[in-house]
A and B are shown apart, each in its own frame.
Chain A
Amino acid sequence: MRILLIILRKEFLQIFRNKIMIPIIFVMPFVQTLVLVYAATFELQNTNITIVDLDHSQMSRKLGSKFDASPFFDVEFEQCDYDNIDKMLLTESTKAVLIIPHDFENDMRMGIKTQLQLNINAIDGQTAGLISIYVNQTILSLLKELKPFMNKTDLSVMPASIHAKPQFWYNATLNFKHYMLPGILTILISMIGIFLTSLNLVREKEMGTIEQINVTPIKKWQFLSGKLIPFWLIGLFDLALGLFIGVVLFDLPIEGSIFSLFVFSGLYLFTAIGLGLLISDFADTQQQTMFTIFFFFLIFMLMGGIFTSVESMPIWAQYVNKINPLYYFIKIIRAILLKGSGIQDMMNEFFALLAYGIIAMSVAVWQYRKTS
């Protein structure tokens, strides 16, 4: 115990003296939450759309002003032919082109079925889908306004339909930030758990300092505990800092208990640190460590469900996620923060992480050799 305290003191001394470590610990939570939460958004805002009005009627202008008033679109009105439309999409000067045909107003009034043409740059399929939906909704809202002015035959344009009114639970306002922020926090904690732990351990090998440690009476468990505990504590500290930023700046709801959140986070950090140690067992230099972790971390992150829904991934990917610790943690942290779940609601995830942590840590400690 005495020796462990001596090592811990030395580790903290080195961590706080490291020029890079301090910014990582204190600045990274701010940067990640402030920048990433805004950047990693799927909401459509100020999308460039070009409207080619061939009708020049009252109704077509009304439709144009509908788009103009929408916060989702930045509208450009153009008079041009099809070749130019192609060019505009190619040069990315606009994301979508909506063409209002001749006789638009006339057809509408006569009750003749009319068609608008919408060309969307669909390189980013997700955004293209959203643009299509938003454009349709904008047009529909115009039709609703026009309804009273139309004669009976026009009713065929708007067939009777079952109207389902959705009610969004757990994130009633569909606030994207409340969904992203917990995900960003998991990245933050993983980076500390896996990257920093691993780099710190490999550094002893790379600098050769392990050789001097090895001729002292320091035992393996003392050395490893001294190396790992600081990052466990720093990880929890950064989680608290990230939550604080989320609550103050983004109004992040904390529906569940902070206690459950920290129990799970402590467990997840244990797993992450175990993985960090495991990777450091097989790496000789910090460079090797970085590349190895980067490889795994990218897969964990993209598959874990931070940005995309795991349920819409192929079945094999969902099975792969069973060995992705980040997957469990993302699920847990969102459930606690947004749904108010407790430990008892997530026993499966709890035991999965526990087993994962114990296995990763045991293998890592067993594989660990103090030799350089």
Chain B
Amino acid sequence: MNNSIEIYNLKKSFNTVKALDNLMLTVEQGGFYGLIGPDGAGKTTLMRIITALLLPDSGSIMVGGLNPVKDYKELRLKLGYMPGRFSLYQDLTVEENLSFFAKVFDTSIEENYHLIAPVYSQIEPFKNRRAGKLSGGMKQKLALSCALIHKPEILILDEPTTGVDAVSRRDFWEMLSQIRENGITILVSTPYMEEAVLCDKISLMFDGKIINSGTPTEITSKFKEKIFILKTLHLREILKIARQMPELKSVNSFGQNLHLVVRDNLVEITEIESFIKKSCDYDFKIEPYQAGIEDCFIDYLESVENV
């Protein structure tokens, strides 16, 4: 048994909406797998099927060697799940929450303390505080502790860092890599592309399908076109001008910069520079750039739109 999760041709519809469409996914044992995709891509539906909270319409699914549809009872013991929405008791304290979930799994905080230590030690000073009174980042840590307390083989995390500040997000990913050292398989979803590179394998998900899978470098290396980054203080004005250049396949703003994708490697930096300078005299600077996950994603979306 080398794979923790194996999914073939998984389908799930809600009325007429196809939430999952012939989805395939394989997660190796001990892997740190990221599901990347925008809201509504079907990430949560997929995770709820894996955790046996939802029944699939068709397709085959194997989690930890078990079928979630039939063997959900045994599966509960092997799985740790952290839902996207904070789902612990707000009126119970940190310690009461943790101890409740430990006892339900017939274990105790002491027994598996070593496992949750990297996470729980950070919120332990507040163990007598009600969960509802914790900050977003601390809630996240408590939820992770509760999902881990029964020593699961597989940990499923649904957008654990959504709505958490940048510092806490970095902390959180740091903790996940520590947890991984215990041999726990991790499947995590996120809408943040920059977090994807922290996983050892990722799948890009869109519209109920997986559009691209592999290691983060494999995915970015599939990006064949030349890509440049344009830095300027007049982002909007230059965006408008650059979009008129026929040799550019796409021009999109990424934060304070523009990413320019060249159609079939037709032009170089100098030609783009002269094209923009014809129309305005704002200052800007163009440099070569290595495509990121987000560029791959947007490239896919635009290719779909153009069909």
Contact = CB atoms under 8 A, between A and B. Distances in A.
Contacts, number: 58
A35 interface: no
A215 B51 contact: yes
Q: Interface range on chain B: under 10, 10 to 19, 20 to 34, or 35 or more?
A: 20 to 34
Contacts of B53: 211, 214-215, 371
Nearest to A5: B103
Contacts of A211: 53, 83, 85, 87
Contacts of B104: 3, 6, 216-218
B86 A208 contact: yes
Contacts of A3: 104
A216 B76 contact: yes
Interface in A1-37: 2-3, 6, 10, 13-14, 17-18
A176 to B, nearest CB: 42
A160 interface: no
B113 interface: no
B101 interface: yes
Given A212-B101, A217-B104, A207 B90 contact: yes
A209 interface: yes
Interface string A179-216: 00000000000000000000000000001111110111
Nearest to B90: A207
Interface string B90-128: 111000100011011110000000000000000000000
Contact of B89 (A6, A14, A214, A371): A14
Interface of A is mostly: helix
Interface of B is mostly: loop
Contacts of A209: 87-89
Contact of B100 (A2, A10, A215): A10
A13 B100 CA distance: 11
Nearest to A216: B104
Nearest to B80: A215
Q: Interface range on chain A: under 10, 10 to 19, 20 to 34, or 35 or more?
A: 20 to 34
Interface of A: 2-3, 6, 10, 13-14, 17-18, 207-212, 214-218, 371
Given A212-B83, A212-B146, A217 B92 contact: no
User: Which of A3, A18, A211, A371 gathers most chain B CB within 10 Å?
Assistant: A211
A298 B73 CA distance: 42
Contacts of A214: 53
A217 B73 contact: yes
Nearest first, the 5 A-B pairs at minimum CB distance are: A212-B87, A215-B81, A208-B87, A211-B87, A211-B83
A353 to B, nearest CB: 34
Nearest to B143: A212
B101 A14 contact: no
A312 B90 CA distance: 50
B77 interface: yes
B101 A216 contact: yes
A13 B92 contact: yes
A17 B89 CA distance: 12
13 contacts: A10-B89, A10-B92, A10-B100, A14-B92, A18-B91, A208-B86, A211-B53, A212-B81, A212-B88, A212-B101, A215-B80, A216-B104, A218-B104
